[in-house]
């Protein structure tokens, strides 16, 4: 490359590097990673309870699948609109400082929403504004955390680190969604939202114990641009320079459109199709998390660095078939089993794919590359969330699920045949 950006490492790893097995013990023994992992564990414990409380509150108050879709759109749009911009700052600012500041700001926002609920003044526009602002913060945390992982663990342990993050996040998701559904049913939405505010403050305190030297901006070479606009453009050029990134984006756009359209209607699906309540809604999400754990633990221990592509496509096929099956299901136990399968397949896709990106992108470009990828992959997600309400209202939720399942299977089939760079991914 001649534009001053760093080259990608060789697509084919050396035999010695490729033979090193991931290790959970080594990963957890790393203090900076352990603190990062712990802070995410705490903040996520509040996030999932908050999600159940807020979505069910909106659905129970308005009875509108479209209003539920608006909430999900408000949460997703910041990733698309602000993601690449935030990535510049993730590469410019100390990543530990970003995480601490963002957690404090999110805690203040959620505390304000809790106060509005207690005062009976929480309108839908206010909820949407808070959700949008939290979406900006969560994108900052997501990109910064992913960029920080390869600065705290060796390349051989990236799969273990991402497996642990998936495991812990999914474990908390099980507890948060399952308990959240019960708590909302018994006590209403305010109590879970108060806990979410507290969890952000605890997460910031944990990150404060991390050395200030961890996650400092990586030094750039003399040819690297220094202005904001030039650095912003460099992130896009870097992603556009590699075919496998472009293929991942093409697959991700369609799959996230279908996935977000599906899960936006989780609460109405639990109520209208399965004839359940808030507890059923929470359990559906909890089973996805349980499946993600079941998928993350083995895939974080097995050395799949030479077989990333086939594993990803197998996971995509499974997700599509399971979403389609959910559209044909009217039984709560069967729907929970299918949700479990979706979680397993999601880990099979996400853990190796994220590890590949972290292994290949230079540290000084990690924030921009990660944010550009997420922003472009999720570009169609808000449309999926919005159209899910339109399609579900015009036809039915089962019809929506069948269509989205078929769409996911189709893109997996086309990708497996036509996208050779993803098919041959290694690191």
What mean pLDDT is reported for the chain?
Answer: 86
pLDDT at 6 over 60: no
Dmax over CA atoms of the chain, in Å, equals 63
Look at residues 376, 373, 365, 363 and name the one whose alpha carbon lies nearest to residue 149: 363
pLDDT digits (tens, 9 = 90+) for 169-215: 778 777 776 677 777 777 777 888 888 999 999 999 999 999 887 77
Residues with Cβ within 8 Å of residue 156, at least 6 apart in sequence = 17, 20, 21, 22, 23
User: What is the C-alpha to C-alpha distance for residues 288 and 283, in angstroms, rounded to an integer?
Assistant: 9
Two tokens at 164? 């642990």
Angstrom CA distances, 363 to 139, 148, 220, 236, 400, stand at: 18, 9, 10, 16, 41
Two tokens at 165? 């993050």
The third-level CATH classification (topology) of the domain covering 24-215+228-423 is Growth Hormone; Chain: A; (1.20.1250)
What pLDDT score was predicted for residue 177?
A: 66
User: What is the C-alpha to C-alpha distance for residues 42 and 204, in angstroms, rounded to an integer?
Assistant: 10
Lowest mean pLDDT among 13-22, 68-77, 155-164, 366-375: 13-22
Judge whether 380 and 253 are in contact, CB under 8 Å.
yes
Can you give the residue ranges of every domain in the chain? 24-215+228-423
What pLDDT score was predicted for residue 7?
A: 32
User: Got the DSSP string for 126-168?
Assistant: HHHHHHHHHHHHHHHHHHHHHHHGGGTS-GGGHHHHHHHHHHH
What pLDDT score was predicted for residue 10?
A: 33
351 or 303, which is more confident?
351
Element (H, E) at 216: none
What pLDDT score was predicted for residue 5?
A: 33
pLDDT at 8 over 70: no
pLDDT digits (tens, 9 = 90+) for 283-334: 888 788 889 889 988 888 877 778 888 999 999 999 999 999 999 999 999 9
Two tokens at 280? 């059923």
* Number of helices (H), then strands (E), in the chain: 18, 0
What pLDDT score was predicted for residue 15?
A: 43
């Amino acid at each position: 490359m001649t534009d001053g950006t760093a080259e990608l490492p060789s697509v084919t790893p050396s035999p010695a590097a490729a033979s090193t097995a991931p290790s959970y013990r080594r990963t957890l023994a790393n203090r900076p990673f352990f603190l990062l992992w712990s802070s995410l564990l705490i903040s996520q414990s509040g996030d999932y309870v908050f999600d159940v409380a807020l979505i069910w509150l909106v659905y129970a108050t308005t009875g509108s699948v479209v209003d539920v879709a608006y909430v999900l759109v408000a949460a997703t749009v910041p990733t698309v609109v602000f993601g690449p911009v935030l990535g510049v700052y993730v590469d410019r600012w100390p990543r530990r400082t970003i995480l601490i500041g963002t957690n404090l700001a999110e805690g203040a926002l959620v505390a304000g929403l809790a106060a509005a609920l207690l005062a009976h003044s929480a309108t839908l526009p206010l909820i949407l504004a808070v959700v949008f602002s939290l979406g900006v913060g969560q994108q900052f945390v997501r990109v910064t955390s992913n960029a920080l992982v390869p600065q705290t663990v060796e390349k051989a342990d990236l799969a273990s680190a991402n497996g642990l993050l998936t495991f812990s996040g999914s474990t908390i998701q099980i507890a948060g969604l399952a308990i959240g559904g019960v708590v909302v049913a018994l006590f209403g939405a305010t109590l879970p939202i108060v806990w979410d505010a507290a969890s952000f403050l605890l997460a910031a305190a944990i990150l404060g114990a991390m050395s200030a030297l961890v996650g400092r901006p990586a030094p750039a070479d003399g040819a690297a641009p220094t202005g904001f606009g030039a650095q912003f453009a460099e992130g896009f050029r870097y992603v556009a320079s590699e075919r496998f990134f472009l293929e991942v984006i093409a697959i991700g756009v369609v799959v996230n459109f279908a996935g977000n359209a599906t899960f936006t209607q989780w609460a109405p699906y639990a109520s209208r199709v399965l004839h359940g309540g808030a507890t059923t809604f929470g359990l559906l999400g909890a089973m996805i998390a349980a499946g993600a754990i079941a998928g993350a633990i083995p895939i974080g221990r097995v050395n799949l660095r030479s077989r990333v592509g086939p594993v990803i496509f197998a996971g995509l096929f499974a997700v599509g078939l399971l979403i389609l099956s959910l559209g044909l299901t009217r039984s709560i136990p069967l729907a929970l089993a299918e949700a479990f399968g979706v979680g397993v397949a999601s880990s099979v896709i996400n853990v190796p794919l994220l590890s590949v990106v972290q292994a290949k992108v230079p540290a000084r470009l990690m924030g921009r590359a990660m944010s550009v990828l997420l922003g472009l992959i999720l570009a169609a997600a808000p449309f999926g969330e919005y159209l899910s309400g339109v399609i579900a209202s015009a036809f039915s939720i089962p019809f929506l699920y069948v269509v989205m399942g078929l769409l996911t299977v189709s893109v997996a089939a086309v990708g497996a045949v036509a996208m050779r760079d993803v098919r041959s991914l290694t690191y």
